[in-house]
Structure 1
Amino acid sequence: TGELMPEKIERADSLAWATDNKTIFYVTEDAVTKRSDKLFRHVLGSDKTDLIYEEKDELFDIGTGRTRDNAVIMLEAFSKTSTETRYIPAGNPDAEWKTIIPRQPDHEYDVAHRGNLFYIRTNKGAKNFRVMTAPVSDPSEKNWKEFVAHRPAVKIEGIDLFADHAVLAEWENGLEQIEIIDFKTSKTHRVQFPEPVYSVNLSNNREFKTSVVRYNYQSLTTPSSIFDYDMNTRQATLKKQTEVPGGFDKANYQSERVFATASDGTKIPMSVVYRRNVKLDGSAPMLLNGYGSYGISIPPSFSAARLALLDRGVIFVIAHIRGGGELGEPWRDAGRMMNKINTFTDFIACGEHLIKNKYTSKDRLVIQGASAGGMLMGAVANMRPDLFKAVVAQVPFVDVLNTMLDASLPLTTSEYIEWGNPNEKPAYDYMKKYSPYDNVHRADYPAMLVKVSLNDSQVPYWEGTKLVAKLRDYKTDHNPLLLKVNMGAGHGGASGRYDAYHETAFDYAFMLWQMGIMN
């Protein structure tokens, strides 16, 4: 009828409809801990709301959803390193929830459904994941059959199922890939992309009985572009491309992939973009961005706002350092826990490579990172303050030891798997070596802009504030040291569209000032 129902659900994080079109399952977020921990069932038009499941383990969150074939509702409990999935038939909302695979330490998996089979993307015996099938009637491990084998150089990020095809989202050599498997012929192929540096991800493909998969393609020089790809004919059709105001012409820009050599000999990929008229003689200003935590991959995607830098002659670089996920799970493991310092030395190696190869110089190199990337900024500023002209650290996680020793904070215990548990002496001693706040020392530091948000529940505002206060006491230079507090924002910064633009403009103004660009 188009009428709004009177029911109102608050703090819902994910939801799934039963196929009766009146029963809804939804997960709520706890207001204090920020964990998604309760699953409810509600029938429209009734006062009845049932608590179906509550996740008691504070290391786990939960989420719910319906499979693409509309046959199954899933409930997934997940920590940083473990998963447990339950399910019911979507047509029987009162059914008893069954567990597909009980949670086990260091076992991560997710499940898709087609016909009488579950397709399980699992890291059991497969660091970069493989795909197994299991009968719905008994999906225990004894009934698993291999569908896609593990490959040491390819990480399987996800699997989407259609009536006649399976679609794999993968990372290989630091680039995203889409692989198609034809169920009828068992033949596989990869979608081909035109540029050496790009980002691609599967869109929200809702149809199950279709030969067309939709994906979003972009690069450092190509705006976000939606394609429909026919998995039978292998033809891609552009459906929409984001318009870029101001007469943008991608032919004016050059993107490339270069590699730095880390202190242990590891090759670190970087994605680079600049205007074609920029001279690579060491005189160009540069913005070097990095993150390198949680296995999160930073794709080389397009930014219209970034053109304000590129058109002023700035070279933009993403350092795909260890701790991220660009080269698979081993890449992540090489930059977390007792290997975390690799993240920082990788970033320093990237800066040194770019200077040595005449992309920029020390007095024109500005670096930027947010959240865990803000930790990166603080760590490298302590380790090599001479290497950078300026640092922009946004909502930075910099008081590592004090935060990780305070189990009352919402995210502390769930973060042990990333940084270590400082209640254990080896982890404490290692974290103390790099924690930015604990390693501020008497030295000439680069110019710094530290930005915090008053309502940040993930990285409290006092972390960056404490860092600035300590720097003011210790640093021996007269370079600018700015603290900007956003009084109305959370961890993600300003939420309004134009407020976000104002924040970006502020950051760019600081960067350009430090680069010596005043127009």
Structure 2
Amino acid sequence: MIYPKALKGNQTDTYFETSVADPFRDLENDSEATKKWVDEEVDFSQNYLSKIPFREKIKDQLRDIWNYEKIGAPFKEGDYTYFYKNNGLQAQSVLYRTNLKTKNIEVFLDPNQFSEKGTTSLSQLSFNKKGNLAAYSISEGGSDWNKIIIIDAITKKQIDETLVDVKFSGISWQGDEGFYYSSYDKPKEGTVLSGMTDKHKVYFHKLGTKQSEDKLIFGGEKTPRRYLGADVSEDQRYLIISAANATNGNELYIKDLQKGGDFIQINKGFDINASIVDTEGDELYIFTDKDAPNMRLVKANIKNPSPENWKDVIPQTDNVLGISSGGGYFFATYMVDAIDQVKQYDKAGKLIREITLPGKGNVGGFGGKEKEKELYFSFTNYITPGTIYKFNVETGKSEVYQKPKVKFNPDDYVSEQVFYTSKDGTKVPMMINYKKGTKLNGKNPTILYSYGGFNISLQPAFSVVNAVWMNNGGIYAVPNIRGGGEYGKKWHDAGTKMQKKNVFDDFIAAGEYLQSKGYTSKEYMALSGRSNGGLLVGATMTMRPDLAKVAFPGVGVLDMLRYNKFTAGAGWSYDYGTAEDSKEMFEYLKSYSPVHNVKSGTCYPSTMIITSDHDDRVVPAHSFKFGAELQEKQGCKNPILLRIEKNAGHGAGRSTEQVIGENADLISFALHEMGVKL
């Protein structure tokens, strides 16, 4: 294959007296040479993919199953009930509302009108307590940099100037005066998509005033933190600030808005995770992992809220706890081998009931305002499309609220959980999903997908993409590897820093298990993951190029020596460590960093690296440099493609057509490289 030629230089960096070459450094810059190379790579990939005979057939299959009405759980604000709906193939879901008195239904916000191609999406939406004012943020082209638009919720007309340069922010109203939001100083011209963002700031925007007059509430030079979130409690009494320097561990601050005064710091340092999930008068309900790696719910009093005074409401158990509140109750979701169980408690921590669920799977919801008597929850697993249920908090009765009409029959499929042994003897669970009647003869196209980081748990969820994959004879397997949150803090920490290779070992062992049991073989296996999962695939394919036929590193963190130099990357150091920490940490990172471990003449899997030109979370330079290394050094005929989405970001807010296009390419490339004909 004659690949596009990337501009090559002689850049080297020195870490602890070790010189490291970085020949494709220019691909970090938005130079004319980089733009030209990107255009050539886009053309090269599209030319290759266009020759796959069944590519359009796969796209049609995806559109066909995707084309069903999707309705979200309703929520009340003021005199209206709001709900999201997508007719089927709309680029973005539309927000409707029903007038509680007249029962009239109307469109409230239609993000499809925000831009011509449906690439501007709705990020956040927040109403004031009365429900007569609203503010919503939009993302253009998938960027993490948002704008906030403020409207009269009754007339739907804009009532204030648009706020700009907002990033990683919630919107939390204080009465009718205005709201709190978070942002960073905008990087210098030309570095908006890659410049470091490390000093988050919380501002208060008072309605009717200019953004330039917004008051700094917390953060900036005096209290530099990378991630700040501000929330006003439902009773409007407290302003709560969560302040963190990494993706794990945070400080908690609270201010009594009724009594005034300064912030009270609840806990110091970043050794624990803590969040206030509810308040009742002077009582604060805090969800935390302090002295509880599997999480617990505690109670504190505003007069003396420091950790030594916390009292258990729902204590830690052997299973990881998630918490939500609504209708005057707490709902505890316990994760047992990645499968959910739910219990309802009162505010004193007394068990009211265990909630009967429709099956084994993943539950979301059970959140709502204090006075609501009906809450909603969703249930899904790998072979059950997401269904929404209405739940009565007093009787405990559930009923189906919205069941999607998907062209998919769960009875035709199998979803089984197995446990396999990793390299160091650790037992790891894995869900394996396929069509009934599949013969375990080693010839089934198989996608092995995982994540393994940041305390994120991969729980069963239905996907149209996986439905099409399984319908074409594919197996979809998801191991719950270390680095995730499936078994609490210990499981997460076992996949961080100097133990990060446990994550790759778990993933490799999952592939070997599937091959040894006849589900698939090397020639029919594809490795897949996104973001931190892109790192997982990049590291696995460079450590074990013989494991699989195909690899899909998606929007991946692939240069482990420089990831902390871009956008919010420095905040990921809890999981990764940095090359500047110590010689030992540098050498460990370099030993698995995908960009630095591509060897000339090695036969790597057929690879489609997936990224977007506007990804300002994991900058595309990671993918560009990895792709250039692989294309230059590939030792066999397996193709190395860079699939670069234009006008898109890290993944959120993409139009339906963009998502269908990417996944049609992924499925058809995998099957084509495996020699499967449709």
What is the TM-score with the length of structure 1 in the denominator? 0.91
2:495 and 2:575 in contact (8 A); partners too: no
2:314 and 2:349 in contact (8 A); partners too: no
Which amino acid in 2 is paired with 1:95?
G
Query: Which residue of structure 2 lines up, in the alignment, with residue 330 of structure 1?
Result: 490
Query: Which residue of structure 2 lines up, in the alignment, with residue 491 of structure 1?
Result: 650
SS for the counterpart of 1:74 is strand
| Partner residue of 2:616 out of 457, 461, 467 | 457
Tell me if 1:175 matches 2:339: yes
Which amino acid in 2 is paired with 1:53?
F
Tell me if 1:375 matches 2:535: yes
Deviates more, 1:373-382 or 1:210-219: 210-219
2:368 and 2:375 in contact (8 A); partners too: no
Q: Percent identity?
A: 28
- Structure 2: tracts of 5 or more residues without a match: 1-153, 188-195
State the superposition RMSD in angstroms.
2.3
1:82 and 1:103 in contact (8 A); partners too: no
The one-character-per-residue Cα deviations of 1:21-64 (angstroms, maximum 9, x if unpaired) are: 23322223443345582222233245563222224455531112
Which amino acid in 1 is paired with 2:572?
E
Distance 1:155 1:31 in 2: 38
The correspondence of residues 221-240 of structure 1 with structure 2, limited to 5 A, is 221-240=383-402
SS for the counterpart of 2:383 is coil
Query: Which residue of structure 1 lines up, in the alignment, with residue 173 of structure 2?
Result: 17
Tell me if 1:96 matches 2:250: no
1:307 is displaced (CA, Å) by 1.8
Tell me if 1:264 matches 2:389: no
Query: Alignment length, in residue pairs?
Result: 507
SS for the counterpart of 1:223 is strand
- Structure 1: tracts of 5 or more residues without a match: none
Distance 1:113 1:84 in 2: 18
1:117 and 1:133 in contact (8 A); partners too: yes
1:259 is displaced (CA, Å) by 1.6
Distance 2:634 2:478 in 1: 28
Which amino acid in 1 is paired with 2:395?
T
Distance 2:668 2:627 in 1: 20
Query: Which residue of structure 2 lines up, in the alignment, with residue 62 of structure 1?
Result: 228
Which amino acid in 1 is paired with 2:374?
V
Structure 2 vs 1, CA of residues 355 and 29 (structure 1 numbering), >3 Å: closer, same or farther?
same
The correspondence of residues 55-134 of structure 1 with structure 2, limited to 5 A, is 55-56=220-221, 59-79=225-245, 80-89=247-256, 92=258, 95-111=260-276, 112-134=278-300
Query: Which residue of structure 1 lines up, in the alignment, with residue 572 of structure 2?
Result: 415
1:131 and 1:147 in contact (8 A); partners too: yes
Deviates more, 1:446-455 or 1:310-319: 446-455
Structure 2 vs 1, CA of residues 83 and 55 (structure 1 numbering), >3 Å: closer, same or farther?
farther
The one-character-per-residue Cα deviations of 1:196-242 (angstroms, maximum 9, x if unpaired) are: 3x211225x33212343321111111111111223333221111123
2:205 and 2:214 in contact (8 A); partners too: yes
2:313 and 2:349 in contact (8 A); partners too: no
2:448 and 2:526 in contact (8 A); partners too: yes
The correspondence of residues 62-461 of structure 1 with structure 2, limited to 5 A, is 62-79=228-245, 80-89=247-256, 92=258, 95-111=260-276, 112-151=278-317, 153-160=318-325, 162-163=327-328, 165-183=329-347, 186-196=350-360, 198-202=361-365, 205-244=367-406, 247-404=407-564, 407=565, 409-423=566-580, 424-441=582-599, 442-461=601-620
Deviates more, 1:7-16 or 1:259-268: 7-16
Structure 2 vs 1, CA of residues 477 and 10 (structure 1 numbering), >3 Å: closer, same or farther?
same
What is the TM-score with the length of structure 2 in the denominator? 0.71
Structure 2 vs 1, CA of residues 219 and 518 (structure 1 numbering), >3 Å: closer, same or farther?
same
1:36 and 1:62 in contact (8 A); partners too: no
Distance 2:606 2:326 in 1: 50
Which amino acid in 1 is paired with 2:412?
N
1:187 is displaced (CA, Å) by 2.2
Distance 1:346 1:514 in 2: 25
Which amino acid in 2 is paired with 1:491?
H
1:453 and 1:493 in contact (8 A); partners too: no
1:74 is displaced (CA, Å) by 2.0
SS for the counterpart of 2:472 is coil
Distance 2:338 2:412 in 1: 25
Distance 1:232 1:365 in 2: 49
The one-character-per-residue Cα deviations of 1:337-382 (angstroms, maximum 9, x if unpaired) are: 1110000010010011111111111111111111111111111112
| Partner residue of 1:8 out of 159, 162, 177 | 162
Distance 1:188 1:195 in 2: 21
The one-character-per-residue Cα deviations of 1:95-136 (angstroms, maximum 9, x if unpaired) are: 334224143231210112123310111222222222221112
1:460 is displaced (CA, Å) by 2.3
Distance 2:365 2:181 in 1: 24
Distance 2:404 2:268 in 1: 42
1:162 is displaced (CA, Å) by 4.1
Distance 1:444 1:185 in 2: 58
Deviates more, 1:229-238 or 1:321-330: 229-238
Query: Which residue of structure 1 lines up, in the alignment, with residue 68 of structure 2?
Result: none
Structure 2 vs 1, CA of residues 332 and 184 (structure 1 numbering), >3 Å: closer, same or farther?
closer
1:76 and 1:84 in contact (8 A); partners too: yes
2:326 and 2:372 in contact (8 A); partners too: no
1:184 is displaced (CA, Å) by 6.8
Which amino acid in 2 is paired with 1:417?
Y
